[in-house]
């Protein structure tokens, strides 16, 4: 009906319940993604008397756990484990990030959960996977980027050491997005089989996926990729960063010949039009590009070059990107309110198809709990819940 107000479409994962046993890292990134796609995420943490066993993220981290529910359970206590299994019996997804074998020792491994819920999608996230010689290694983002080849192929510091990345790519993409993608695929498969499954998400294997072009190049040709090896890792001047007059930087990614030609003409470097991939003159091209870009401020260059099919963009500081007109118009940021902290902005759901923020996001204090609601929904009666509270194993 023309002109009629359309109700917003339901979020893709509306009606899907996720139990998340992690507080930080790839698993927490995963549950953030699932919540932004509409899943009901229940964060399961440790009760106050055992709060030191888990890292408590800052109030603003992981978007302040917006739209999530919370319960605290001492999973080492038999009564709390039993309560957790009651929750798991009604869930669609369980995410854990213990070291391999720990969930099983707690009595909460896949087989234990599957007995109460054969349809559960059980996602174990770990650095190196549940099996193999490295499975028990402790690690963090930098370790996984190192083993997966990312650090070796990145730029170098002045002392020759691999440069530290500017974001936790292993946690976010190789881990969190990897896990979310695997979970979504498993949920689709469950629609056909009516059976759940155990997902062994290894962050380092997610890094391998990110490095696929480079790894496949080596496997097919025997070449040893690294910094400066090819066009994407600094071999040619057309794909590099350059300082402007004001000390700020421009990213130049003029790979295609037409974009490279447009760039050369726009910055007065026409003499290099036919030498884009000539290895013998790359130092000279870079010198001329550097000299040209130093003649004007960054934003003046961007205003002329970015719309002119040159593949030039500003290298933004975080404080700049959060005020960028394009990102603001696209709704990249949201207003949030926290009961104990000032109002602030946060990144809005950023991936295509996520449920949009409507109005101000009201965040909750980390001490708030949905234990009563969740346990009642799982079938526990008031007396059982009070016994758990009195024993200090639920909060």
Percent of the chain scoring above 90 in pLDDT? 90
Question: Contact, 45 vs 54, CB < 8 A?
Answer: yes
Are 93 and 187 contacting, i.e. CB atoms less than 8 angstroms apart? yes
The reported pLDDT for the residue numbered 5 is 39
306: Cβ contacts below 8 Å, ≥ 6 apart: 312, 313
* Mean pLDDT rounded to a whole number for the chain: 94
Q: Is 152 a catalytic residue?
A: no
The answer, yes or no, to whether residue 119 has pLDDT greater than 90, is yes
pTM of this prediction? 0.93
Q: H helices of the chain, where?
A: 25-36, 78-88, 102-105, 110-116, 141-147, 150-153, 169, 178-193, 203-210, 212-221, 257-266, 282-293, 298-305, 318-321, 325-329, 371-377, 382-390
pLDDT in tens, 279-309: 999 999 999 999 999 999 999 999 999 999 9
pLDDT for the residue numbered 4? 42
User: Active-site residue among 20, 36, 92, 171?
Assistant: 171
Half-sphere exposure of 271 (CA within 13 A, CB side): 8
- pLDDT tens sequence across 168-212: 999 999 999 999 999 999 999 999 999 999 999 999 999 999 999
User: Active site includes 140?
Assistant: yes
Q: Could you read off the pLDDT of 340-349 as tens digits, one per residue?
A: 888 999 999 9
Asked if the model's pLDDT at residue 312 lies above 70, the reply is yes
Quote the CA–CA distance of 8 and 358 in Å, as a whole number.
11
What distance in Å separates the CA atoms of residue 368 and residue 127, rounded to the nearest whole number?
Answer: 31
Residues 52-86 have pLDDT tens digits of: 556 788 889 999 999 999 999 999 999 999 999 99
The domains located in the chain, with CATH, are 17-210+366-390 (3.40.50.10540), 231-243+249-314 (3.30.1540.10)
pLDDT tens digit sequence for 215-254 = 999 999 999 999 999 999 999 999 999 999 999 999 999 9
Query: Helix, strand, or coil here: 86?
Result: helix
């Amino acid at each position: 009906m023309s002109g009629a107000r359309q109700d917003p479409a339901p979020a893709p994962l509306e009606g899907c319940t996720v139990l998340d046993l992690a507080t930080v890292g790839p698993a927490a990134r995963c549950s953030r993604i699932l919540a932004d796609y509409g899943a009901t995420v229940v964060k399961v943490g440790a009760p106050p008397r055992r709060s030191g066993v888990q890292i408590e993220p800052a109030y603003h981290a992981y978007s302040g756990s917006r739209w999530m529910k919370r319960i605290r359970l001492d999973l080492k206590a038999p009564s709390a484990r039993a309560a957790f299994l009651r929750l798991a019996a009604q869930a669609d997804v369980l995410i854990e990030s213990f070291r391999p074998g720990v969930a099983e020792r707690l009595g909460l491994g896949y087989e234990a959960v599957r007995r109460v819920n054969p349809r559960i999608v059980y996602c174990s996230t770990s650095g190196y996977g549940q099996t193999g010689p490295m499975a028990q290694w402790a690690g963090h983002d930098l370790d996984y980027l190192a083993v997966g080849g990312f650090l070796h192929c990145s730029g170098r510091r002045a002392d020759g050491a691999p440069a530290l990345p500017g974001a936790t790519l292993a946690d976010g993409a190789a881990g969190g997005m990897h896990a979310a993608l695997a979970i979504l695929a498993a949920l689709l498969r469950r629609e056909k089989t009516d059976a759940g499954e155990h997902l062994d998400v290894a962050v380092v294997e997610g890094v391998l996926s990110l490095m696929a072009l480079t790894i496949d190049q080596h496997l097919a040709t025997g070449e040893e990729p690294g910094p400066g090896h090819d066009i994407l890792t600094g071999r040619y001047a057309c794909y590099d960063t350059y300082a402007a007059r004001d000390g700020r930087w421009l990213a130049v990614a003029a790979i295609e010949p037409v974009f490279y030609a447009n760039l050369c003409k726009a910055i007065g470097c026409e003499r290099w039009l036919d030498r884009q991939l000539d290895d013998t003159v790359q130092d000279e091209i870079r010198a001329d590009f550097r000299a040209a870009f130093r003649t004007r401020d960054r934003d003046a260059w961007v205003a002329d070059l970015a719309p002119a099919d040159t593949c030039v963009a500003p290298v933004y500081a975080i404080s700049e990107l959060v005020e960028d007109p394009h990102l603001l118009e696209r709704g990249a940021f949201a207003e949030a309110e926290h009961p104990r902290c000032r109002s602030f902005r946060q990144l809005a759901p950023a991936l295509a198809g996520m449920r949009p923020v409507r109005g101000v996001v009201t965040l909750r204090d980390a001490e708030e709990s949905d234990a009563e609601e969740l346990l009642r929904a799982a079938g526990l009666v008031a007396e059982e819940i009070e016994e758990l509270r009195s024993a200090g194993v639920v909060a």
